[in-house]
């Protein structure tokens, strides 16, 4: 892809809102900003001549598999509108961000998983109710598979991606199945099942418990706990997972009942969350 400046912020916002936060062709909520009139032909950032496409559909359009007429039709009658998805596939009916990962409830915004000082996963609710995802995905050899920033694919080879999406569900993995993430926002809280590679080690957030290379990392991080304003920090060398605060402080909630635990975690996060000015 030729070197060029990023689209202006207001242009990106209008394109996201028009497409309802998903690919105009298939609705997948990981996207890029595509020029229907190629930027190489005319250097522009006109909203009417651009649209949101996922990495796979973007690759198709860029290689000529979709004619300009087909692209115009897709832009005018985009997927989320046809399906009646007003907030897109990762729309959340809540004013907070919480996710259940490895049996542990994490409530808060910003980084949720850090490995060897590098953030691998962040979640936050958008102003329009869509769930924003940032992730750094490697394979077991340390090759970067994908870098996603607030649902925008920043880098990574689209040809090796395997993306699946349904209403309020997203699956991201490499073709070799060396990286996998399943995020469901169908219920409350959102559920995350994932395998992250970092520095040759596998961080497993599936089921109950958090494991590093098959070893249960941290007995204190167990089912029935919730952390508000906290994040998981993984040391793959020592196979240890620690809890650290996203802000200056955080809350630990121990509650057996999952509904009560969620309500307490949300209330705790609201106390910690910086007030908007």
pLDDT for residue 277 = 42
Reduced to 3 states (helix: H, G, I; strand: E, B; else coil), residue 30 is: coil
Beta-carbon count within 10 A of 238 CB: 10
Q: Average pLDDT in the 119-145 region?
A: 81
* The pLDDT of residue 147 is above 70: yes
Q: Could you tell me the two tokens for 230?
A: 């906290």
Distance CA 7, CA 22 (A): 17
Phi, psi of 273 (to 5 degrees): -60, 130
In the chain, pLDDT over 70 holds for what percent of residues? Answer: 88
Q: Average pLDDT over the chain, rounded to whole?
A: 85
Model confidence pTM above 0.95: no
CA torsion angle for 51, 54, 60, 65 (degrees, to 10)? -50
Distance CA 225, CA 221 (A): 7
* Burial environment of residue 273 by CB neighbours within 10 A (0 to 12, 13 to 18, 19 or more): middle
* The pLDDT of residue 222 is above 70: no
Q: What is the pLDDT of residues 151-195, one digit of tens each?
A: 887 776 665 567 788 888 888 876 655 557 888 888 888 888 988
């Amino acid at each position: 892809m030729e070197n060029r400046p990023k689209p202006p912020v207001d242009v990106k916002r209008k394109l996201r809102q028009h497409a309802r936060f998903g690919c105009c062709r298939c609705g997948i909520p990981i996207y890029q900003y595509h020029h229907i009139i190629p930027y190489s032909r005319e250097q522009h950032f006109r909203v009417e001549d651009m649209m949101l496409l996922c990495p796979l559909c973007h690759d198709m359009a860029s290689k000529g598999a979709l004619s300009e007429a087909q692209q115009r039709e897709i832009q005018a009658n985009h997927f989320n509108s046809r399906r009646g998805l007003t907030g897109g596939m990762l729309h959340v009916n809540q004013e907070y961000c919480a996710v259940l990962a490895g049996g542990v409830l994490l409530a808060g915004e910003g980084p949720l998983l850090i490995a060897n000082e590098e953030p691998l996963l962040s979640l936050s609710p958008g102003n329009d109710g869509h769930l924003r995802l940032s992730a750094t995905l490697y394979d077991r050899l340390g090759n970067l598979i994908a870098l996603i920033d607030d649902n925008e694919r920043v880098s990574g080879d689209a040809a090796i991606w395997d993306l699946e999406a349904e209403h309020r569900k997203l699956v991201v993995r490499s073709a070799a199945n060396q990286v996998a993430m399943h995020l469901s926002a169908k219920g409350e809280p959102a559920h995350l099942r994932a395998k992250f590679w970092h520095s040759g080690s596998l961080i497993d957030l599936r089921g109950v418990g958090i494991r590093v290379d098959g070893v249960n990392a941290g007995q204190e991080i167990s089912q029935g706990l919730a952390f508000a304003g906290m994040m998981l920090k993984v040391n793959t060398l020592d196979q240890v997972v620690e809890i650290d605060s996203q802000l200056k402080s955080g809350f630990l909630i121990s509650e057996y009942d999952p509904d009560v635990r969620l309500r307490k975690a949300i209330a705790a996060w609201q106390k910690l969350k910086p007030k908007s000015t």
